[in-house]
Amino acid sequence: MAGITRRDFLKGLTFVSIGAGMGVKASAGFGKRFMAGDHIMVVIQMSGGNDGLNTVVPYTDPKYYQYRPDIAIAANRVVPLSSKLGLHPQLQPLKSIWESGDMAVIHGVGYPNPDRSHFRAMEIWQTGSPDVPANLTEGWIGKYMDKEGHLLTTAAGAMAIGGGDVPYAMYTPLYSPPSFETPDDFTPLFGDNFTVELMKRKATLRTIYQTGTPEIQLAEQVRVAGKAAISASDLISSSINHGSNSVTYPQSGLGTTLRNVARLISSGIDTRIYYVTIGGFDTHAYQEDLHPDLLQELSGALRAFYDDLQGLGYADKVVLMTFSEFGRRVEQNVSFGTDHGTAAPLFVIGKPVAGGFYGEQPTLSDLDENSDLKFDVDFRQVYATMIQGWMGEDADLVLGSHFDRLGFIS
């Protein structure tokens, strides 16, 4: 656990004075349990099962090299974070964030009786519950939205951006979050070339979705989703024009997406949660041809985003977390890849974050009955810290039971 450093203390001071000036935030330690206001959370889902051992590398452990003769990261290539652990070389751009104390590495995140199916494991992470049968109508973010009722009434209280399906994490029966690839998706329907007929057609469509009363229940569900989408589209396409960026982002999928997130944040839009998915981490074969590029895309985009928020003056408002549905097997397979495993580290990044290591790095000397890593930190502890420590909502209520918070948000 990281102790209080001089920097943290200074950070705390800044926090209080800004809070006092704006009158919106109560700082930690001043009696108010939950912080209300304008905090923003960005979640990056790394789909496919990111290889934790090649992300945060135990580069002094001979067992690591024994288990992975062909795909281990050589000790002289890692970006050292401590005398035992270092980042994959492609994560170099994160080094200075780590050094500024704005990056937490949470070790061995998992849960009891881990499931190695992509789909089941993703359901567990996204619903915040390993219960069987899974309740897929409500995810952990959806439940947060429900508790934070006013977010349900804004057009874009939470959004999935960058493409792909709306994640179960954002499901709630009460709200249908907008999901889009780029804000260009929301250029006005039917184009800009208005004629009287087109204007009328567009207005008719809008009114049908706003006031229609379909008799079939599934059609009514579609109507409600469409109505929300139309409102969100109006809001997002106008907001993106009011936002800006202060740095150049790498040319990559994630780079483009985070650039748009920063732009939306700087527009002042009332979105509290951005959910971003990056795929491709299912590295069963020839991992070293794939994994470095994925980590490069991740670190380059994260670094630009971090710098951009500083430049835009939003660094104090945003915390970003990464996760993947599982880590990978300790031992490499014959295809120079790794199969589905269990616990893995995740990152939490942002100016408000108390950087450092949290939890214990799982040992390679005491594996579980499937020769996989044993978890140390329950993923719901990370959620609880984000929900309560950062977003100011009662995590016990959102998650349905109590999970000890971690210290990465003071």
Partner 1 sequence: MSEVRDRLAHLFRRAGFGATPEELDFWEPQGVDAAVDWMLAERPDPTDKDPKPTNFLDGGLALINWWFRKMQRTNRPFREKMTLFWHGHFATSLAKVGLAKYMLQQNETLRNYGMGDFRMLLKKINLDPAMMIWLDTLGSYKDHPNENYSREVMELFTLGRHQYTESDIKELARAFSGYTFDYGIGDNGVKTPWGHDFGFKKIFSAIGDFDADSVVPLLTGHPHCTKFLAWRLYRFFVNESALEGDAAWFGDVIKLNRFNIKESMRALFLSEQFYSPENRYARIKSPVEYTLSLLRDTGTRPDLYSIYYMSAMGQLLMYPPTVEGWKGGMIWMSSTRMFRRFQFAQYQCTKSADGAGSIFSPQTAKTLFGDMTAEQMTDAVCQRMLGRQPEPTTRSLLVGYLSGAKHGSQFVASVESGLKHLRGLANLIAALPDYQLS
Whole-number Å distance between alpha carbons of 312 and 242 = 13
Please pick, from the candidates 12, 19, 80, 185, the single residue that binds partner 1 as defined by CB under 8 A.
185
Is residue 234 a contact point for partner 1 (CB under 8 A)?
Answer: no
| Residue 378 beta carbon to partner 1: minimum distance, rounded to whole angstroms | 21
- Whether the CB-CB separation of 321 and 369 falls below 8 Å is answered with no
14/210 with CB nearer partner 1: 210
Is residue 238 a contact point for partner 1 (CB under 8 A)?
Answer: no
Single-letter amino acid, residue 26: A
Please pick, from the candidates 160, 269, 278, 330, the single residue that binds partner 1 as defined by CB under 8 A.
160
165/366 with CB nearer partner 1: 165
Structure tokens at 173: 């029966």
Is residue 69 a contact point for partner 1 (CB under 8 A)?
Answer: no
Contacts of 86 (CB under 8 A, 6+ apart): 56, 57, 59, 73, 75, 78, 79, 80
Is residue 45 a contact point for partner 1 (CB under 8 A)?
Answer: no
Is residue 99 a contact point for partner 1 (CB under 8 A)?
Answer: no
Instruction: Name the one range near partner 1 by CB under 8 A: 55-63, 280-288, 298-306, 309-317.
Output: 280-288
**Distances from the Cα of 260 to the Cα of 44, 268, 306, angstroms:** 14, 13, 13
Q: What is residue 222's three-state secondary structure?
A: helix
Is residue 152 a contact point for partner 1 (CB under 8 A)?
Answer: no
**Please, is 382 exposed, middle or buried when counting C-beta atoms within 10 Å of its C-beta (0-12, 13-18, 19+)?**
buried
Number of neighbouring beta carbons within 10 Å of residue 130: 18
| Residue 195 beta carbon to partner 1: minimum distance, rounded to whole angstroms | 9
Please pick, from the candidates 247, 285, 315, 397, the single residue that binds partner 1 as defined by CB under 8 A.
285
53/348 with CB nearer partner 1: 53
Of residues 94, 1, 79, 44, the one with CA closest to residue 325: 44
Alpha carbon dihedral 205, 207, 208, 209, in 10-degree steps, equals: 90
Please pick, from the candidates 16, 28, 75, 166, the single residue that binds partner 1 as defined by CB under 8 A.
166
Is residue 220 a contact point for partner 1 (CB under 8 A)?
Answer: yes
Q: What is residue 210's three-state secondary structure?
A: helix
Please pick, from the candidates 76, 165, 192, 193, the single residue that binds partner 1 as defined by CB under 8 A.
165
Is residue 192 a contact point for partner 1 (CB under 8 A)?
Answer: no
Q: E-strand spans in 102-255?
A: 103-110, 158-161, 179-180
Is residue 199 a contact point for partner 1 (CB under 8 A)?
Answer: no
Residues that bind partner 1 (CB under 8 A): 116-120, 132, 160, 164-166, 178-181, 185-186, 189-190, 196-197, 200-201, 204-205, 207-209, 211-216, 218-223, 225-226, 228-229, 232-233, 282, 284-285, 331-335, 337, 339-340, 370
